[in-house]
Amino acid sequence: MRHILRETLFLVWFLAAWYILALVVSYALYPDYKSDIIDTKESDKTIFQTSERYIIFALPKILSSPKKKIFFIGASNVRDGFRPKELQSVLPEYEVHNLAVSGSNITEMHDVVNILQLLPEDLMKKSVFVIGIWYGSFVDDEKHWGTANSSVITEALRYGLYRLDSGKPKLRVKMDYLSYATVLLRPCLFLQRLITKVYVYGDRLRTFAHNLLRKKRIDFSAVFNPRRPGLDEAYKRVALRRWQDFMGTKNGSFKDEQFEKFLDLSKLVNKSGAMLLIVDMPLPEWHRRGSPYWRNYQKKKNYYINEALKLGNVRYVDLELEIEDKDFRDSVHPQPEVTKQWGILLKTYIYQDEHRSTTL
């Protein structure tokens, strides 16, 4: 027995040494990202690597200054369309955080809002939530996540720092200790980065093998990264087909599920005392014209947005028709040069003195 204990302790002692070494290496390769704001587009520069992990672990950053906050929540078009650094100069009284997660549907946005609810109540009351929606945000959970949780929740539960309480993420540790827990988990986060790299190479290998066997090249970049100047007709066709695959329903139809969740989300923000600005995200004209989802979405959204606006402290802005096609770099994302202009368009809505609801 004495020998077992001695050998186990010896092993534990060495494990501790490896842990310290891994911690040091993680700091050497990925030092703490110096920024007071959370911008998920920058997540790759941090040890967290993904938007989800960045939101979950960097939450205490939001508490670092007493300024009023604006949280941008949505999918990648919100992440790319509203750049915090540009908006900071347009909205100087506010501290702008972009918490958009690529490929989010309303459920995931709801989860992000739930995580933000863990912040102090008084902070919530002086905050603005900007939720960017478009028809792709309303893809139903079964199609998007299958039986799994949203990626934000999956990441939150991964290391055991969060738990689910009636479907809502709650911290297991105090918010003050979250930064320390993050430091402790650095070796694991470092490992996750390495694994992701392996997956990327694995994916390349798989694509290579696939193309080798089938002789038919797969254009994985069809929607998200066209890698070609201008958007020709062939690209547009492929993009529209890919969005149809993404939505998964026939004839451009929608289930009520995500719209109901959208209403819940509006109520949740409203209950916290924060202001909610719903932004209908713009799409290029050819995308709107060619997608049966866009047309059905226009019909369906009105009821729910009107219901949300009845809550008070909720505003709505439709950017859909205000942006020209040339401002898009693909089927949904803006050109980098125009993002500041998008932010200026929002300014008037955020600065309205009276929190007046407007109906559609």
Residues that bind another protein (CB under 8 A): 1, 3-4, 6-8, 10-11, 14-15, 17-19, 22, 158-159, 185, 187-188, 191-192, 195, 206, 213
Phi/psi of residue 276, nearest 5 degrees = -115, 125
CB of 189: closest distance to another protein in angstroms? 8
Secondary structure E strands in the chain: 68-73, 94-98, 128-133, 162-165, 168-171, 275-280, 314-318
Where would I find the H helices in 47-162?
51-57, 76-81, 84-90, 106-116, 121-125, 141-145, 151-158
Bridge pairing between strands 168-171 and 275-280: unpaired
Distances (CA, A) of 87 to 83, 84, 240, 347: 6, 5, 31, 9
CB of 248: closest distance to another protein in angstroms? 18
CB of 91: closest distance to another protein in angstroms? 38
CB of 149: closest distance to another protein in angstroms? 13
CB of 3: closest distance to another protein in angstroms? 5
Q: Calculate the dihedral angle through the C-alpha atoms of 48, 170, 144, 236, rounding to the nearest 10 degrees.
A: -50
Which residue, 126 or 158, has its beta carbon nearer to another protein? 158
CB of 220: closest distance to another protein in angstroms? 16
Which residue, 4 or 28, has its beta carbon nearer to another protein? 4
Q: And the tokens for 138?
A: 């309303």
**Closest to 157 measured CA to CA, from 82, 52, 308:** 52
Which residue, 148 or 360, has its beta carbon nearer to another protein? 148
CB of 293: closest distance to another protein in angstroms? 26
Bridge pairing between strands 162-165 and 168-171: antiparallel
Which residue, 188 or 344, has its beta carbon nearer to another protein? 188
Which residue, 22 or 90, has its beta carbon nearer to another protein? 22
DSSP state of 91: S
Bridge pairing between strands 68-73 and 128-133: parallel
Alpha-carbon Rg for the chain in angstroms:
22
Which residue, 212 or 359, has its beta carbon nearer to another protein? 212
Task: Please check whether residue 102 is in contact with residue 51, taking contact to mean a CB–CB distance below 8 angstroms.
Answer: yes
Which residue, 128 or 156, has its beta carbon nearer to another protein? 156
